[in-house]
Amino acid sequence: MKAKFIVLALVSILASGTAAQAQGQKVHTRPITRADIPDQSDKEAKLTLDKASERYRTKPMKIDFQIVMEDTKTGKKEMTNGNLVVKGDKFVLSLPDAQTYFNGKEEWIYVAKNNEVTVTYPTQKELQELNPSYILNSYLGNTTVQWSRDNKKSDSFYTIDIYPAYKDKKDYYKVVVKVNRQTYDVKSIQVMNRNGVHAHFTVVKTESKKFDDTHFTFYPKSYPGVTINDMR
């Protein structure tokens, strides 16, 4: 299983849930039907996601995170730690086995053990699997946003459910986002997929910093002997 934000994001991709929380989620044992997906959004819930998404779009930051991928059919889990530097559409994603650079147009994926980098023009779908700002923005499309049944005023965070339109036949059928009530920082993003493989993205630490645009570009000259696979 690949550890990527599929949030809708990280959305992360894009935070307090751990592997134990991922285990506790209800799993569908039958095909998803139209009745499983609400068709009316809650305005206040959407406004909360707007505020959370705005933070990622307007404030450069570094995010340390953990991703738990769980195959609910086999019980297999994969846990990965990493960090994400994000500035608007640009980002650098660092995972144990690879680094991904996106400068707003090109994506460079560098694998250190092979000293090899692959460069592409990523699709919108691919970006949504990597950048929590894309994950959060995707609900602005043909989706339904509602307060979760687990949303409690006594909690320090909001809990919001996102459902894709049934007719769109997305890979996921539900996304659960937790947002800090005071700062509107994303606490966690969990993506529940139709194939039974769920992704839980947990923010460990968030740090606001300034980053020059050059930070988001991969420079082959800095990696002597690197093999470049140009797929553009």
| Residue range 93-131, pLDDT digits in tens | 898 888 989 998 999 999 999 999 999 998 876 766 555
**What's this model's pTM, rounded to 2 decimal places?**
0.74
For 76-94, the pLDDT digits (tens) are 998 989 888 988 888 898 9
Question: Is 230 or 10 the better-scoring residue by pLDDT?
Answer: 230
Question: What's the rounded Cα separation, in Å, for the pair 185 and 12?
Answer: 12
**Ordered structural domains, the chain, with CATH:** 10-230 (2.50.20.10)
Band of pLDDT at residue 191, cut at 50, 70 and 90: confident
**CA dist 18 to 39, 63, 117, 220, Å?**
30, 16, 31, 36
Give the per-residue pLDDT at 222. Answer: 94
What does the pLDDT read at residue 137?
A: 60
